[in-house]
Structure 1
Amino acid sequence: MKGLAPGAILRLTALAMGMVALMPVQMLVMRVAPSRGAAIPRLFHRLTCRCLGVRRHVRGTPPPAGSSGLIVANHVSWLDIAVLGAERPVCFVAKSEVAGWPVIGFLAKLQRTVFIDRSRRAATADVAAQMGERLTAGEAVVLFAEGTTGDGTRILPMRSSLLGAAHEALGKGDAESVADIAVYPLTISYTGFHGMAGGRVERATLAWYGDTELAPHLKTVLRAGAIDVELAWGEPIAMGRATSRKEATRRAEATIRKARQETVSGRPVA
């Protein structure tokens, strides 16, 4: 990319070489042992964070290792995928358009991303069935419940439809047979740039939303130097017989908003 410093070009080259080396390995794993398909993506996401200078900081108590459940998070940037994927084995739910994006779409398929076609009325049911299979298999599924990326500062209203559909899919239509699902609220906040605390302008610069193109945004990330991101985990919510999907979504959204306010203000919010 033109206009990048030699160090940034070196980091981008290292990332590209790592991707080329890991892709055929992941393709082989997906063919012969798909149940072990989470290890290589996690390694790639860690490489991505390292090459792009992203430093992860965890607040709160993450879900136990290997636990199943729905991770409900806000969405700021394509970087969120690498940040969360580097922390733990997860699968993501993404809009169907992502599947057709050059390179990114192929990588998403290799990570067994669940794609939802929002133009089809039956899409939610189809996606819910896939999510139900993943949850039954003990996997953690990430939902960016805002439905789109935000500007890095605001939390957009969260949608409850996929949470409820995934829960119903586990019981195959028999509400009495459906067990509770653990919903883990997660707040993603980009907090530091060039080793210094960032404000609203810096957060908006790293956010990937609207009509922002990927290549210029990648250049912005490479020029940013060190990037600090905080992953703030909230208390898990048992969605099911006692807590409806709308109430679970409301509580998750409130937890995420509170954690974002705490991060921005630097002090706990009562």
Structure 2
Amino acid sequence: MSRLRIAAVLAVLVPITLVLMVVQWSALKAGSPIAHRLPRRFHQFVCALFRIRIEVAGAPAEGRPLLVLANHTSWLDITVISTLLPLSFVAKREVGSWPVFGTFARLQRSIFIDRQRRKGAAEANREIAERLAGGDAIVLFAEGTTSDGNRVLPFKTAVVGAARDAIAEAGHTGHVLVQPLTIAYPRRGGLPVGRPDRPALAWYGDMELIPHLAPVIAGQPIDAVAVWGEPIAFDAGSDRKTVTRTAENAIRRAYAGLITGREPA
């Protein structure tokens, strides 16, 4: 049955994905507003196909510029977060060269940052600033990598501060809204996911993506929870470390509650 389900899912997913990739590419080239909306619809389709049920607490801020800081445990996070509103991600440069998934990232207008080159980071920060000032919601996985699902790793502050500084230097605006977003997978098949089982949903270290993808498709339905925290105004008088720490603490509290069963109302 597992192999049959995987085959059935792929038989639906692959042709529809190929068609939508062409549509999205054409929309981007034409500057059509469809390019902002189509990725959200695609990820909603993927979640339905993979039987990922999403519960949302809170709401994204209406104000702009909006920089979303999220925790990161799995490639599933990107699909789940992308269903919430039109947005783009900040990704490490290597992602752009990945087969298939690098193309997906580019089609969703991801911003690639090369942390090994100061000039590359500066260029990415300028693009983040321009996109934020233009009204795009940008998601940053502030841990800088994925975890095993049992904890939230320390947040990095550099990109948060650089985004604010780049916006200010460009003369767009004096502030950025920083909003925490917590993603967790507390249940599977209606049963709680315990500490030993969380790494099965997490994607970290040297894990290969395809072997990880198969049991997600073939296994029991996954319950995902997304919790929006209170937006934090980040202006010239704000300390980037304090703002980042505030967002990190909010995510840690929400995540601990979710994986222990004390979910927010």
> Residue 111 of structure 2 corresponds to which residue in structure 1?
114
Q: Which range moved further: 247-256 or 187-196?
A: 187-196
> What TM-score does the superposition give when structure 1 sets the normalisation length?
0.92
Q: Which secondary structure does the structure 1 equivalent of 2:251 belong to?
A: helix
Instruction: Verify: 1:232 aligned to 2:230, yes or no.
Output: no
C-alpha distance in 1 between matches for 2:168 and 2:84: 30
C-alpha distance in 2 between matches for 1:102 and 1:114: 17
Task: List aligned pairs for 1:25-104, cutoff 5 A.
Answer: 25-64=23-62, 67-104=64-101
Q: Which secondary structure does the structure 2 equivalent of 1:87 belong to?
A: coil
Alignment identity in percent?
42
Task: Measure how far apart 1:171 and its partner are.
Answer: 1.6
C-alpha distance in 2 between matches for 1:235 and 1:26: 32
Task: Measure how far apart 1:220 and its partner are.
Answer: 1.8
Q: Which secondary structure does the structure 1 equivalent of 2:126 belong to?
A: helix
1:13 maps to a residue whose letter is A
Q: Which secondary structure does the structure 2 equivalent of 1:143 belong to?
A: strand
- For structure 2, which runs of at least 5 residues remain unmatched after alignment? none
> What TM-score does the superposition give when structure 2 sets the normalisation length?
0.94
> Residue 161 of structure 1 corresponds to which residue in structure 2?
158
Cα distance change, pair 219–8 in 1 and its aligned pair in 2 (3 A):
same
Task: List aligned pairs for 1:121-160, cutoff 5 A.
Answer: 121-160=118-157
- For structure 1, which runs of at least 5 residues remain unmatched after alignment? none
> Residue 6 of structure 1 corresponds to which residue in structure 2?
4
Structure 1 runs (4+) greater than 3 angstroms displaced = none
C-alpha distance in 1 between matches for 2:76 and 2:262: 26
Q: Which range moved further: 197-206 or 145-154?
A: 197-206
Q: Which secondary structure does the structure 1 equivalent of 2:180 belong to?
A: strand
Q: Which range moved further: 34-43 or 94-103?
A: 34-43
Give CA deviations for 1:119-139 in whole Å, capped at 9, x if unaligned: 212222111100001111111
1:5 maps to a residue whose letter is R
Q: Which secondary structure does the structure 2 equivalent of 1:200 belong to?
A: coil
C-alpha distance in 2 between matches for 1:104 and 1:248: 31
1:229 maps to a residue whose letter is A
Give CA deviations for 1:152-205 in whole Å, capped at 9, x if unaligned: 12100001100111111112267xx85121111011101111222211122211
Instruction: Verify: 1:181 aligned to 2:176, yes or no.
Output: yes
Give CA deviations for 1:62-91 in whole Å, capped at 9, x if unaligned: 323x85400000001111111011111000
